Amino acid sequence: MSTRNAHYLSAMGIQPWALRAAPRVSGQCSPVAADAAAEEIALANMAPAPVAAGHVTAGARADVAEMDWPRLEAAVAACRRCALAEGRTQTVFGVGERTADWMVVGEGPGAEEDRRGEPFVGRAGRLLDNMFVAIGLRREAVYIANVVKCRPPGNRDPQPEEVSACGAYLDRQIALVQPRLILALGRFAAQSLLQTDTPVGQLRGRVHRYAGTIPLIVTYHPAYLLRSPEQKARAWDDLRLARAQIAGDG
């Protein structure tokens, strides 16, 4: 393995996993990797439950499809179109560069996201940040959103009618950003965006198209990677595929 690859893997927290067997490599560990290791050890048993399927575009509405950013943001902040409105502290719209090449889509806000109003700021978010580091991306350079904008109570799966109600907002965010690549994190985002029931393990590893146009790559959800660190090598392959897709498409 090259030093460069070792650095990337260490940024994803793969190196610390090997560390226990081979303490001598600790000199190669970046502070990010050390954080990732501590994070992983402290939180390995606390990841949320797996997620279910949905269909994003089923809820598309003409009014939302014409909104600009300020209108869309205001519409989401005031939205009560599904039952998830009742349990939220606030909506979690999305964050990042609105002309980004990369758009990253997760499932829905967790407790920390619900408190802070920003996606992926909890423990899964810290691993996601390390995954960005691994491919030379800054969090600020991508646009990050979720399939549903309100926290499902107790981290339960969003229901199909909730995904359907919220889907128009995500579709509009994608249309406004016009990313060159969508990275779908986990089963829920992948199956919703691709409107399929195929398991993530079969969707990852190749390039799909969102709505027949935008290249979309599926990888494991960082919360799942916290529980199943042995899958990080596969996630790393997906990230490299995504980076190659961006580099190769013009």
* Positions in the binding site for ligand SF4 (CB under 6 A): 76, 79-82, 84-85, 91, 148-150, 162, 165-166
Nearer to ligand URA, 113 or 162 (CB): 113
The pair of structure tokens assigned to 130 is 């390390």
Nearer to ligand SF4, 89 or 231 (CB): 89
Nearer to ligand URA, 134 or 223 (CB): 223
Name residue 203's amino acid: L
Helix 3-11 and helix 123-134, axial crossing angle in degrees, nearest 10: 170
**Of residues 13, 59, 94, 110, which one binds ligand URA by CB under 6 A?**
110
Q: How far is CA 25 from the centre of its chain?
A: 30
Which of the listed partners (ligand SF4, ligand URA, none) does 94 bind, with a CB threshold of 5 to 8 Å by partner kind? none
Interface residues for ligand URA in 46-75 (CB under 6 A)?
none
Give me the DSSP letters along 131-165: HHHHTT--GGGSEEEESSSSPPGGGPPPPHHHHHH
> Which residue number, 54 or 110, has a Cβ lying nearer to ligand URA?
110
We find the least distance from the C-beta atom of residue 221 to ligand URA, in angstroms, to be 6
Cα–Cα distances in angstroms (integers) from residue 3 to residues 15, 33, 52, 98, in the given order: 12, 14, 38, 33
Q: How far is the CB of 109 from ligand URA (least distance, A)?
A: 5
- 158: contact with ligand URA by CB under 6 A: no
Which residue, 102, 194, 110, 97, is CA-closest to 146? 110
The residues pairing with 182 across neighbouring beta strands, listed in sequence order, are 103, 216
Which entry of ligand URA, ligand SF4, none binds 166, CB below 5 to 8 A by partner kind? ligand SF4
Cα torsion at 113, 118, 123, 124 (round to 10°)? Answer: 100
Residue 112 near residue 35 (C-beta atoms within 8 A):
no
Piece in contact with ligand URA (CB under 6 A), picked from 5-13, 121-129, 157-165, 196-204 = 121-129
Strands (E), the chain: 95-96, 102-106, 143-146, 181-185, 207-210, 214-219
Residues of span 213-232 touching ligand URA by CB under 6 A: 223
Nearest approach in angstroms of CB 229 to ligand SF4 is 31
Residues lying near ligand URA in the complex (CB under 6 A)? 106-110, 113, 119-120, 122, 124-125, 146, 223
